[in-house]
A and B are shown apart, each in its own frame.
Chain A
Amino acid sequence: MKSPESSIEPVKTHCPYCALQCGMTLTPGAPVVVGPRDDVPANAGGALCQKGWTAAELLTHRDRLTTPLLHGEPASWGEALDYVAGRLRALRAEHGPDSVAVFGGGGLTNEKAYQLGKFARVALGTSQIDYNGRFCMSSAAAASIRAFGMDRGLPFPVTDLAQAEVVLMAGANVAETMPPFVRHLPRLIVIDPRRTATARLAWLHLQPAPGTDLALALGLLHLVIAEGLLDKGYIAERTTGFEAVRTSLASWWPERVERVTGVPVARMRQAVHALAGAAKAVVLTGRGVEQHAKGTDTVTAFINLALALGLPGRPGSGYGCLTGQGNGQGGREHGQKADQLPGYRKIDDPAAREHVAAVWGVRPEDLPGPGRSAYELLQALGTPEGPRALLLFGSNPVVSAPRSLAVAERLRSLDLLVVSDLVMSETAALADVVLPTTQWAEETGTMTNLEGRVLLRRKAAEPPPGVRSDLQIIQGLAVRLGHRFAAEPREVFDELRRASAGGIADYSGITYERIEAETGVFWPCPSPGHPGTPRPFLDSFATPDGRARFVPVEHRAPAEETSEDYPVYLTTGRVLAQYQSGAQTRRIGPLVEAAPESFVELHPSLAAHLEIDAGDRVRVTSRRGSAEGVARITDAIRPDTVFMPFHWEGANRLTNPALDPTSRMPEFKVCAVRLEAVR
């Protein structure tokens, strides 16, 4: 008989936070202990950042919700679910199926994301479902699909980066957002309006004004052409559409770009020569260039640059976007997006509808069509044309949506707001019904990381009594609405595999056993015998003719320019010790100690002009609201720009919900503000 000690085996799993999904072990017990895991390539050698090391602290946190709340009062699960189902039935009967909306998140497992999409379309019959990944990956996704016919964040394993000689990273601060990622990087060129922790590691830092990355990318490509650095053979063999791009670039000569962006021509020239001179090179984009009303075109411009240099689809080279949320990749593949069905299928494609309807046992014509995108959905809540009820999983829009005061107002105007969360988030605090749910270590499920590698997170701890998983919650509601839904993750995953079969993101050959045995499997993986696809573009791209598409794009100014009343740009971003809306990380002692409060980063010249001293409380005001933070004075930021982190409620009161016409991404990364010291 085993002793109690020896039966406690560390469980191999992954971190609850970002898309790098570092491998970690959890040793059950009180407390659960986090250990490094060195068999996962993303964090080879067992690297973890402070968020990962301290992740287990939330498992037993005193703020955990352990009982459903009905209008603020504790209720039994039966009461809560009966109430919700009753209200949903009544609203649908009176106002039709689209009166009920669903909002998901990029942190949810593939199983949950899939099940939410199915629940919305089948059990609720609503078209009104979208998720917070719209605020995250949609611009990069749209641009990748336009160029390559497929969107897989990194179309190569993360370990390929170390083979490159140069990486150009536009709008990403990985040294703070996913620190172990830094270990994969070779010589680095960083594009960022701030001299971030990542920019400090760079060989070359280009520091454009906020909202001008697109012009910078056009200038870089102009120089590639002018300096004779084109990969003409590659362009001829593997791409289409270059001539139109060449013509469009005649208007973007480097000196003009310098005037628009503030980046010296000499530095642009240095960057393109480093990229073109490298035997292998990679172009990466992040939210900094993507979260704009022109984000899709900006990413397209960087993809054009990569194509002109002949990078995508060559081993050790390429273009990739850095997915943010833990399951930001899988979360955008399986149907919680307004226009999408599982397997990265389009909901308006008749063949896709037929396939998925057959898996779901419904008629294709009964599936709703595309619904509103995330911000448009939030904006419509409680309006005469919009939904009257919202079910929200794995998201906290009161903190994370743009123009958040107005979004909170919309949420308050609903007939019914149901929030599933671990803790009383700012959004849960507005809910009629709060459902306490399990968290990462208390349930099993798959995550698809930034490489497109499907990973298995294993259950390592029992949830607190009274808590249910999202899958159980969805099942409980579905049953009450007359539908049978599985709640076991493996059962749901097997259904997801069938639903994704034949789609772009085909998971049909992936099983929990294979993931375990192979430390993850890259999609597409169309059959059990298929090895998975680490590098999907080596032979051809996922376009009808197999060639990547150049698309001409034009720079335009930010949706909101500075003015006399709002003379300074605001840009927003992350800090190392916090994650997303902070619902998790703002409750963990060491992380709060490292990053206790919101702040406003500003340049010494601006601070002197406004008579603001370091440590002063500063009020920042845009056309949409005001927020406060502590002044941090640093020359790491441009004098015309201030920075606020978005992990605390406040920064997004200011941000501009101008949407990208293609991706419907809001313009989080630039708006006009004024500042004053609060005395």
Chain B
Amino acid sequence: MRIVVVGNGMAGSRFVSEVRARSKEARITVFGAEPWQPYNRVLLSNVLAGSSGPDQVRLLDPAWYAEHGVRAVLGCRVEQIDRDTQAVITEDGRREPYDVLVLATGSDPIVPPIPGVERAVPFRTLDDCRRILAAAENGSRAVVVGGGLLGVEAARGLAGRGLPVTLLHLAGHLMERQLDPEAGLVLSETLAGLGIEVRTGVQVSEVLPAGVRLAGGEVVGGDLVVLACGVRPVTALAAQAGLEVRQGVVVDDEMRTDDPSIFAIGECAEHDGTVYGLVAPAWEQAEVAATVITGGKALYRGSRLVTRLKARSVELAAMGETHLTEEQAEVVRFSHRARGTYRKLVIRDGRLVGAILLGESDVVGTLTHLFDRGGPLPGDRADLLFPGLAGRAVADSPVRMPDSAKVCHCNNVTKGQIRACWEAGARDVAGVAAATRATTGCGTCKDAVEGIVGWLCEQEGVSA
């Protein structure tokens, strides 16, 4: 079987590895428009922030293709699909026949049609990242246009490099797809504390040589302008070939387009009315397609979305249906703006269906698991946000401890036994240890035993 993959990004490269893990026989050819090995786009924000080197984002070693018998044609665009003869045609006129074709063409950044926009740098590829970093090196102030996930990460990354940043956003609050207005506000305040000026509800009308002009005429200065205005699925190839395209290339639960020998996965695909822009769904889709194409059975039923901001000192997780109101669901909220904390849970039918967690919190992992996998929620919902608050006992003092309380676990010694031993004449830890073996195991109860013996001695003093 000849499999041709168009696109060597997160989805395409994952698909190739998944196929190879299942079949040694399939003949695989992958075309990549970018001239290098596939890399992890998710980590580009870290590269911008300096917490990952460009060498740390590579997903496959250069030798991988040869070792696994995969033909990779890099730096080469596919221009056309000839469905009649089942072949793709590249920009340099090369014909590659396929039995199965997989489209993983991803998305292009949206570049707003405004004057001077060519002066701005979109933030999408490793090359973009390098250009931004080069400009930041000599820059004195940056403007980031777009306050979605990527824009916030880019702004944080640049600010972390010591560059003052203005973050401009069209909507009324940041990350409006994932956050409610209050969370957006708390996020703005957190960013402000990190050297980022956030302006929401503003439209950029022109990119100037040293900044941008807003719709009202105001100029926001900056010698580096970064665009993070969202992405658009790359569907031209599919549309031209007559495949059904709406927002993305329309696929069924097997990730198959309306041509049974053509599949689409990742950000270029539209499944059940949804185009996903995150890596987790793309990888799930790659796995389903690889299973189906190698003769297995698998169905894609959509993905649960967890958005996790990767920005130092800004802990933010948002998942599921964060916009539901009290009328539609059970909502639990805790807000403490002075500390940059905002937590919101959305519960429906006894199940966690959405959450926003802003500010550091140990519950992020537990809540993500509850959201992903379901599971019973505690009757007192506050336990979800502040676990252990209800049941945690105050530190045991010798006075309040019942006689049956175990003090030495290694030797199963209770407070009552220590008391009995004290009553029989033991007045220090060594005496108690000799009689009960308390403290002779791991030794961590020594302080507790000391405390009890001391307290008993004190009591004796009081009563004497």
A and B are partners in one complex rather than unrelated chains: yes
* Chain A nearest CB, measured from B41 CB (Å): 11
Q: Chain A contacts of B372 at CB under 8 A?
A: 259
> In the complex the two chains form, what is the Cα distance from A256 to B440 in whole Å?
44
Q: Would you call B61 and A49 a contact (CB within 8 A)?
A: no
The binding surface of chain A is classed by DSSP as helix
Q: Chain B contacts of A49 at CB under 8 A?
A: 410-411, 440-442
Given contacts A247-B61, A251-B40, A639-B378, 11 further A-B contacts (CB under 8 A): A47-B442, A48-B441, A50-B441, A176-B409, A180-B443, A207-B365, A247-B58, A253-B42, A264-B365, A594-B412, A605-B378
Q: Would you call B437 and A53 a contact (CB within 8 A)?
A: yes
> In the complex the two chains form, what is the Cα distance from A255 to B364 in whole Å?
11
Q: Chain A contacts of B56 at CB under 8 A?
A: 225-226, 246, 249-250
> In the complex the two chains form, what is the Cα distance from A669 to B159 in whole Å?
45
* Chain A nearest CB, measured from B368 CB (Å): 5
Is the CB of B397 closer than 8 A to any CB of chain A?
Answer: no
Q: Would you call B440 and A46 a contact (CB within 8 A)?
A: yes
10 tightest A-B CB contacts, nearest first: A609-B376, A262-B365, A179-B441, A182-B442, A179-B442, A594-B412, A255-B308, A49-B441, A179-B410, A605-B378
> In the complex the two chains form, what is the Cα distance from A176 to B441 in whole Å?
10
Query: Which residue in A176, A181, A264, A593 is a CB contact (below 8 Å) of B361?
Result: A264
Chain B, residue nearest A607 (CB): B376
Query: Which residue in B39, B46, B409, B412 is a CB contact (below 8 Å) of A197?
Result: B409
Given contacts A259-B372, A590-B412, contact A608 B378 (CB under 8 A): yes
Query: Which residue in B373, B374, B375, B443 is a CB contact (below 8 Å) of A182?
Result: B443
Q: Would you call A640 and B440 a contact (CB within 8 A)?
A: no
Q: Would you call A259 and B308 a contact (CB within 8 A)?
A: yes
Query: Which residue in A253, A262, A567 is a CB contact (below 8 Å) of B366?
Result: A262
Q: Would you call A635 and B391 a contact (CB within 8 A)?
A: yes
Is the CB of A175 closer than 8 A to any CB of chain B?
Answer: yes
Q: What are 26 A-B contacts with C-beta separation under 8 Å?
A: A47-B441, A48-B441, A50-B411, A175-B442, A183-B442, A207-B365, A226-B52, A249-B56, A250-B57, A250-B58, A251-B40, A253-B40, A253-B43, A253-B46, A256-B42, A258-B364, A259-B306, A261-B365, A262-B365, A264-B361, A265-B364, A576-B412, A590-B412, A605-B375, A638-B366, A640-B369
Chain B, residue nearest A244 (CB): B61
Q: Would you call B60 and A266 a contact (CB within 8 A)?
A: no
Provide the A256-298 mask, 1 if CB < 8 A to any CB of B, else 0. 1011011111110000000000000000000000000000000
> In the complex the two chains form, what is the Cα distance from A244 to B63 in whole Å?
10
* Chain B nearest CB, measured from A459 CB (Å): 25
Given contacts A251-B59, A640-B375, contact A635 B387 (CB under 8 A): yes
Is the CB of B362 closer than 8 A to any CB of chain A?
Answer: yes
Provide the B33-61 mask, 1 if CB < 8 A to any CB of A, else 0. 00000011011001000011001111111
Q: Would you call B315 and A266 a contact (CB within 8 A)?
A: yes
> In the complex the two chains form, what is the Cα distance from A243 to B61 in whole Å?
8
Chain A, residue nearest B38 (CB): A250
Q: Chain A contacts of B373 at CB under 8 A?
A: 562, 640
Is the CB of A227 closer than 8 A to any CB of chain B?
Answer: yes
Interface residues on A, range: 35 or more
The binding surface of chain B is classed by DSSP as loop
Q: Chain B contacts of A640 at CB under 8 A?
A: 369, 373, 375
Q: Chain A contacts of B40 at CB under 8 A?
A: 250-251, 253
Is the CB of B377 closer than 8 A to any CB of chain A?
Answer: yes
> In the complex the two chains form, what is the Cα distance from A266 to B56 in whole Å?
20
Is the CB of A604 closer than 8 A to any CB of chain B?
Answer: yes
> In the complex the two chains form, what is the Cα distance from A609 to B350 in whole Å?
10
Query: Which residue in A46, A226, A246, A639 is a CB contact (below 8 Å) of B375?
Result: A639
* Chain A nearest CB, measured from B384 CB (Å): 9
Q: Would you call B39 and A605 a contact (CB within 8 A)?
A: no
Is the CB of A307 closer than 8 A to any CB of chain B?
Answer: no
> In the complex the two chains form, what is the Cα distance from A179 to B412 in whole Å?
12
* Chain A nearest CB, measured from B460 CB (Å): 29
Q: Write the residues of chain A forming the contact surface with B, with a CB cutoff of 8 angstroms.
A: 36, 46-50, 53, 174-176, 179-183, 197, 201, 207, 209, 225-227, 243-244, 246-247, 249-251, 253, 255-256, 258-259, 261-267, 562, 567, 576-577, 590, 593-594, 604-606, 608-610, 635, 638-640
Is the CB of B379 closer than 8 A to any CB of chain A?
Answer: yes
> In the complex the two chains form, what is the Cα distance from A625 to B383 in whole Å?
34
Q: Chain B contacts of A225 at CB under 8 A?
A: 52, 56
> In the complex the two chains form, what is the Cα distance from A562 to B444 in whole Å?
37
Given contacts A36-B440, A49-B441, A258-B368, contact A604 B362 (CB under 8 A): no
Chain A, residue nearest B40 (CB): A250
Is the CB of B388 closer than 8 A to any CB of chain A?
Answer: yes
Provide the B379-401 mask, 1 if CB < 8 A to any CB of A, else 0. 10001000110010000000000
Given contacts A243-B61, A259-B368, A576-B410, contact A267 B306 (CB under 8 A): no
Chain A, residue nearest B361 (CB): A264
Q: Chain B contacts of A576 at CB under 8 A?
A: 409-410, 412
Q: Chain A contacts of B442 at CB under 8 A?
A: 47, 49, 174-175, 179-183
Q: Would you call A250 and B412 a contact (CB within 8 A)?
A: no
Is the CB of B310 closer than 8 A to any CB of chain A?
Answer: yes
> In the complex the two chains form, what is the Cα distance from A226 to B312 in whole Å?
12
Q: Chain A contacts of B51 at CB under 8 A?
A: 226-227
Is the CB of B330 closer than 8 A to any CB of chain A?
Answer: no
Q: Would you call B412 and A50 a contact (CB within 8 A)?
A: yes
> In the complex the two chains form, what is the Cα distance from A249 to B59 in whole Å?
8
> In the complex the two chains form, what is the Cα distance from A44 to B440 in whole Å?
11
> In the complex the two chains form, what is the Cα distance from A665 to B306 in whole Å?
34
> In the complex the two chains form, what is the Cα distance from A477 to B51 in whole Å?
66
> In the complex the two chains form, what is the Cα distance from A606 to B375 in whole Å?
8
* Chain A nearest CB, measured from B22 CB (Å): 14
Is the CB of B450 closer than 8 A to any CB of chain A?
Answer: no
* Chain B nearest CB, measured from A230 CB (Å): 11
Q: Would you call A250 and B444 a contact (CB within 8 A)?
A: no
Q: Chain A contacts of B46 at CB under 8 A?
A: 226, 253
* 413-441 of chain B: CB within 8 A of chain A: 437, 440-441
Q: Chain A contacts of B108 at CB under 8 A?
A: none
> In the complex the two chains form, what is the Cα distance from A263 to B140 in whole Å?
38
* Chain B nearest CB, measured from A593 CB (Å): 7
